[in-house]
Amino acid sequence: EAEVAQSPRYKITEKSQAVAFWCDPISGHATLYWYRQILGQGPELLVQFQDESVVDDSQLPKDRFSAERLKGVDSTLKIQPAELGDSAMYLCASSPRRPHNEQFFGPGTRLTVL
């Protein structure tokens, strides 16, 4: 069964450092999502791609976060500089282009900022 891949699974960094997360969606899925899940809360969308274009980044802290999906396949989410409050699980998901389809989630990257 096809799965969404993410790496690394765990990342520990010091504040002010740069971090990057990678996601490889299920083959053929046009839509890719990055969510942030703070402990004890539900996931919150950071950025959404349709193919290589950003269609929603309204909740992305653009002063420090950036995301790209250059060829419309895999994606990278970057934080620079990291802050203590960025400690969270970062989840990537993908879905087919058709509306109302469920999203398929990767295992996530747990980020700890010291």
Partner 1 sequence: AQSVAQPEDQVNVAEGNPLTVKCTYSVSGNPYLFWYVQYPNRGLQFLLKYITGDNLVKGSYGFEAEFNKSQTSFHLKKPSALVSDSALYFCAVRDAGGYNKLIFGAGTRLAVHP
- Binding map of partner 1 across residues 3-42, x = CB under 8 A, - = no contact: -x-x------------------------x-x------xxx
Angstrom distance (rounded) from CA 14 to CA 113: 5
Rg (CA), the chain: 13
- Report the DSSP pairing between strands 65-68 and 53-56: unpaired
Closest to partner 1 by CB, 26 vs 81, is 26
Find the binding residues for partner 1 in span 64-103 (CB under 8 A): 91, 93, 95, 99-103
Quote the CA–CA distance of 30 and 95 in Å, as a whole number: 7
Closest to partner 1 by CB, 45 vs 81, is: 45
